Structure 1
């Protein structure tokens, strides 16, 4: 539809509202305001209109303001004091008048019950510019909250996130439409959830279209959820508890599944600890680390593919014992290498020394083989520690651990 046709027919430009649900109460905590053109025989999303840089800025601002004004009128009569209203804005358009137009429009509805601290300004990270931080801080001084949008799909400005200090990170789930997402992609999304926790931001997973995406969002620290699987955008507001029973039931299923996985993880750790303690006691006469590894190797077929011994500072005291085909080989070139730079290495040394038991690592991709593995490590004595890299095939048959 032509931009001028939309601009000259603002009567048919209306707001649509997509609910956002919270994890604590399984209720609607807010709505994202979306623009639609609703004619006699058509309904058109205005997303492409707002994103089209060829349309003059003043046209886009006028239509954005028309949508927001109508939305705030509805918000003012919602009688829900705790609802948040998510508003998308292009940072470049905000900067045209130093952000005053947007702010004054928000403030004009304050007497009608829509306080600035009910507003969440969404800015896509692809629009973030080095000079926008002062504007963000200006908005925050009025209580307006900031959400960084589409972090999972266009994360080329992650270095700007910490500077802006958003209250919410919106992680796009569009690329995770099934449980076939590769481990590397899943780890990137997981790392974003860690980033959010580090900077004190809540995570909102958007574009949830499948139960798998919802489970991933729940498992990775998602506090808020949004997407067609939950509720499509509509022209009006709905009961806050519309999905409470459904969400409660689904999340209870996620809880049971996660508890089962954690129990499997705990059982495997106990099993490996018992097995290795028995083997080490049997072969403790083997004083040379290489001889000890060779003695252990034949008992680890089908379970491990690499083993080595390190001291408490991370220096490798032995060669690698590596499974190549059907035989175990010593790789002396690894002796004396230091691994203290690895995340959690020294922390795990302290944990093993204090607990006197082995520990099982998180899942990660092995640098050399590229396979997704876990490492089991345990103390041989106060100063020597055995590290066992478990094979992907072994983990694959352990339910919930691959």
Structure 2
């Protein structure tokens, strides 16, 4: 149906509701309101209508408001109001500086709508206006208890500085990309960065487009408090029972926990093994004064456990060359001597941890700057001021269950 057909058949327009589930209660906590229109005995999405900028603004605003009226009429009759997520085009919202939407919500507040249950979803990267003015509007909305979600993060390019300025309550991350066979490590790194941003600005993560168990596990593992998608429940013209997925989500979460605990035990087991191994090797070569000699000896004893070793002091200055395995042969790279690594994430924190605990620690999984592969690093205190760093290759991690 084209825009004119939709506008002349508004009686066929209806709101559909997609349930939003919580990770802490495994229950439905809210619904996203989606636009549908009945066409040839089935309901079609109005998404293309709302996203088509060639359609007059007043048409899109009118249909948006119609859907919202119908949804709110239903929500105010409920004994316990869930969160209501409503999509709004930020460019259309700013035409009247958000006044019409706020007035609509205030009218429904008089009828019983709880404003702190209202979540306005905005797509930040589509906004072409003055971001400061949008931010002022959002701040004004918040004085009424209204929450703000930034939508479609991960689907298209989003600017972290813009998101940080808007300081949303919820970040919605699209997970469709996970299903593509071409999805690379860079995508996972971006999502990880988003999760760190959310933590820094105090935002809650909502993962959308969850269509498989794998995506649900990914969302759980990566800090998702809320989930929605076809795997959990498809959009419907009716609201669903709050506990429709409670047992299923609890069961799957227990599996996720067991799997993650197994991986953590594998990491701690390797860390303990390396501490024992290094304690013996360092004692064996304790009379070696030259760190280049020490890492040369150690490299011959570590086998497949490492592809790079070096020594730094507690200020991050490298006290040895790098010794690197290339085509099964070890070679010293003197140019790394006295380079400083204190700027690297967690470097100083790990140094302090080793000083207090008097033992080595195994890093989390990360992408190596030089090789681009996922690796881990084992750090080990040689004495009160110098520390050995052993980079463990992807091949070793892959061959040992739970280390990736």
TM-score, scaled to structure 1 = 0.97
Indicate if the aligned counterparts of 1:33 and 1:86 stay in contact, CA closer than 8 A. Answer: yes
SS of 2:274's equivalent in the other structure is helix
Measured after TM superposition, the shift of residue 184 of structure 1 is 2.2
Matches of 1:119 and 1:51, distance apart in 2: 22
Measured after TM superposition, the shift of residue 345 of structure 1 is 0.8
Of 146, 154, 157, the residue aligned with 1:155 is 157
State the partner residue of 1:85: 84
SS of 1:4's equivalent in the other structure is helix
Of 345, 348, 351, the residue aligned with 1:349 is 351
Indicate the larger mover: 200-209 or 37-46. 37-46
Instruction: Give the alignment of 1:312-391 within 5 angstroms.
Output: 312-391=314-393
Q: Is 1:399–2:401 an aligned residue pair?
A: yes
Of 243, 246, 271, the residue aligned with 2:245 is 243
Measured after TM superposition, the shift of residue 181 of structure 1 is 4.2
Give the gaps of 5 or more residues in structure 2. Answer: none
State the partner residue of 1:220: 222
Instruction: Give the alignment of 1:22-41 within 5 angstroms.
Output: 22-41=22-41
Indicate if the aligned counterparts of 1:125 and 1:155 stay in contact, CA closer than 8 A. Answer: no
Matches of 2:25 and 2:203, distance apart in 1: 19
Measured after TM superposition, the shift of residue 327 of structure 1 is 1.9
1:210-231 deviations in Å (ceiling 9; x for gaps): 1011001000110000000000
Matches of 1:357 and 1:229, distance apart in 2: 45
1:52-107 deviations in Å (ceiling 9; x for gaps): 100000000000011110111111122223x1000000011111111111111112
Matches of 1:55 and 1:200, distance apart in 2: 37
State the partner residue of 2:68: 68
Matches of 2:181 and 2:258, distance apart in 1: 18
State the partner residue of 2:121: 122
State the partner residue of 1:19: 19
Of 184, 187, 190, the residue aligned with 2:186 is 184
Instruction: Give the alignment of 1:252-267 within 5 angstroms.
Output: 252-267=254-269
Matches of 2:183 and 2:4, distance apart in 1: 42
Measured after TM superposition, the shift of residue 148 of structure 1 is 0.4
Indicate the larger mover: 21-30 or 321-330. 321-330
- Pair 1:191–1:271, CA change in 2 (3 A): same
State the partner residue of 2:97: 98
Instruction: Give the alignment of 1:166-181 within 5 angstroms.
Output: 166-177=168-179, 181=183
Measured after TM superposition, the shift of residue 309 of structure 1 is 0.6
State the partner residue of 1:133: 135
1:183-211 deviations in Å (ceiling 9; x for gaps): 22112111111110110011000000110
Question: What is the root-mean-square deviation of aligned Cα atoms in Å?
Answer: 1.3
SS of 1:102's equivalent in the other structure is helix
SS of 1:241's equivalent in the other structure is coil
Matches of 1:327 and 1:284, distance apart in 2: 24
State the partner residue of 1:3: 3
Measured after TM superposition, the shift of residue 13 of structure 1 is 0.5
State the partner residue of 1:108: 107
TM-score, scaled to structure 2 = 0.97
Matches of 1:31 and 1:146, distance apart in 2: 14
Matches of 1:179 and 1:238, distance apart in 2: 33
Matches of 1:66 and 1:363, distance apart in 2: 49
State the partner residue of 1:301: 303
SS of 2:73's equivalent in the other structure is helix
- Pair 1:111–1:40, CA change in 2 (3 A): farther
SS of 2:324's equivalent in the other structure is strand
SS of 2:234's equivalent in the other structure is coil
Matches of 2:328 and 2:165, distance apart in 1: 53
Give the count of matched residue pairs. Answer: 401
